[in-house]
Structure 1
């Protein structure tokens, strides 16, 4: 049975992103990625010929996942801003893992910084187009950032989203 090349590439990117999160850039070696993905080093090099190509693949996947997320936001219609907030604190998702990986890479990689900038701009543009108010869009985005930060560092409060929704309802949102 032939292996699906796309599945193997995704396994390799998953392994790379996880290693970046757990061990940092220096721990995400080609050998470690191959081992984590259960693929030979030759198999890894067939798909990604270098660490630079792995980085590029990881950042391209982030762009793709953000595009998908923006489409999901738009599909939420009048609830777009609420969808954004409700999903801001999701951890363990492919998008979350990609964001963490890009954040690790951004410490040393300008392309990762650019990818994170594109991510923020895509979300902001979706919020701004929906709300028609750049100040409100930025406020919603910053609230989402805080919720994401708290969730990732185990500081989240179960009632935080309810408080935010109460305030937004008072503002007519």
Structure 2
């Protein structure tokens, strides 16, 4: 069984995803985590402390993902696009809950999401050797993620395995295009 602290953080995340920032009161989170309000306050003395802990969780998950991206045998571009399908994973849930906070203008949420975007873009740029190629691949993956996370109401995948294979071919073309332009000089 998860620790009280993790159950509270999970409940905060769940409430943000399901009901939004306004519904994620300390009382609601405590009840969902099946702890007293005093128990919640022991671990998180304020809602801001909950947000900070959620941000730390998300950053740790994103750093782990970045490491897998860098080490992927197919390359960082293919990894990023291949893993951009929403799967309700811990990373997905932390991202969506933080996005719910960012939608309300929460500065910690916005800063955390910006930091993660920079982390992933930096890994792609280093791996692909070109910022424009990295941005193109990142935007392709982000589009897939956005589409799957926010528009698959019935939970069914919005893209088939064949669709994903074709998109990975596009990634290969982008990478090859910028690799060959680097070898042949600058692009006009």
Same-fold call, TM cutoff 0.5: yes
CA distance in 2, matches of 1:168, 1:26: 39
CA distance in 2, matches of 1:165, 1:96: 21
Q: Map 1:74-153 to 2 at 5 A.
A: 74-106=70-102, 107-152=104-149, 153=151
CA distance in 2, matches of 1:121, 1:102: 16
Task: Using structure 2 for the length normalisation, give the TM-score.
Answer: 0.83
Structure with the larger helix share? 1
Structure 1 runs of 4+ aligned residues shifted over 6 Å read none
Unaligned runs of 5+ in 2: 177-188
How many residues matched? 169
- List per-residue Cα deviations over 1:93-116 (Å, max 9, x = no partner): 111111111111112311110100
Tell me if the contact between 2:133 and 2:174 (Cα under 8 Å) persists in the aligned partners: no
Distance 1:171 1:26, change over 3 A: closer
Unaligned runs of 5+ in 1: none
CA distance in 1, matches of 2:172, 2:19: 42
